Amino acid sequence: MSKVFIDGEAGTTGLQIRDRLQGMPQIQVLSIAPERRKDPEAKRELMAQSDLVILCLHDDAAIESVAMIDSMAGKKPRIIDASTAHRCNNTWAYGFPELCAEQAAAVGKADRVANPGCYATGAIAILRPLIDAGLLAADAAVSLPSVSGYSGGGRAMIEAYAKGEAPLHEAYALGLAHKHIPEIQRYTGLTRRPIFIPAVGNFEQGMLVQLPLHLDQLPGNPKASDLHDALVAHYASSAAQGGFVRVEPATTDGKLDATALNNTNQLEIRVFANEAQRHAVVIARLDNLGKGASGAAVQNLRLMLGL
């Protein structure tokens, strides 16, 4: 039985990870007493007993916890960091196992894994295959309008929606400097900074990440079916290995419910198009707390512990 400590288990992501681990008999979750959550020595004691530590903290606190593990004598626990702090760090494996053919193995053997951001997961899932296939230039001018449930916005936003004090739909980060942009660029191969426009809707969980495209401006002047086929080919190997990304046909009614994959670790990609106008939009759908956070962490844990 592997011992796992969730540093920050009282937060939204930590609670969902704990719930998912409760159903795994191979895992013993070590918990810190509520009155000792801010006691560094109590945290150090639990980390020393753990095979793996999952960090569900703000960036600065995650960096402090990693430093604490670095300072420990003897065998150190492996780490999954759900914060932004290490996602672009060369010494950490990026925890999107479906990224490419070798990524699941890289995660499995890593001692330190950076969990992807929720929006970044959807953006990378649709962009990386198209760039790898040569259907989208690395220097393309890309826009990514997206929407998430409010559960990804932290305690203050969750409380505002619970009290009925938040708007039904709100665009945010309109300074165009969202923290997910660096990892989107890094793991897609984009050389031109994308315009990322996130929004939050009045629903708890769920996410859509959209990539609008002018087909006649893409290399080789492809059809929408070419985009679909490239996505299918990219994810064929990970699907055979139990990956969670699926490429599906466009819906017949031209609609897509952002909440349909809630409480799963699935991510679905669809290509919608108007061939007469040479327009297309590629959309990733996921649960922002599933494949976008807690589900991804548990998927990475399974790979790291060989479960």
DSSP annotation string for 74-140: SS--EEEE-SSTTTT-TTSEES-TTSSTTHHHHHHH-SEEEPPPHHHHHHHHHHHHHHHTTSS-TT-
Three-state secondary structure call for residue 7: strand
The catalytically annotated residue of 56, 88, 100, 118 is: 118
**How far apart are alpha carbons 278 and 148 in whole angstroms?**
28
The answer to whether residue 118 is catalytic is: yes
CA 55 – CA 58 distance, rounded (Å): 9
Lookup: tokens for 156: 């203050």
Is residue 117 within 8 Å of 183, Cβ to Cβ? yes
Instruction: Answer for the pair 229, 222: CB distance below 8 angstroms, yes or no.
Output: no
Residue of 89, 142, 146 whose CA lies nearest to 121: 146
Residues acting as catalytic residues: 118
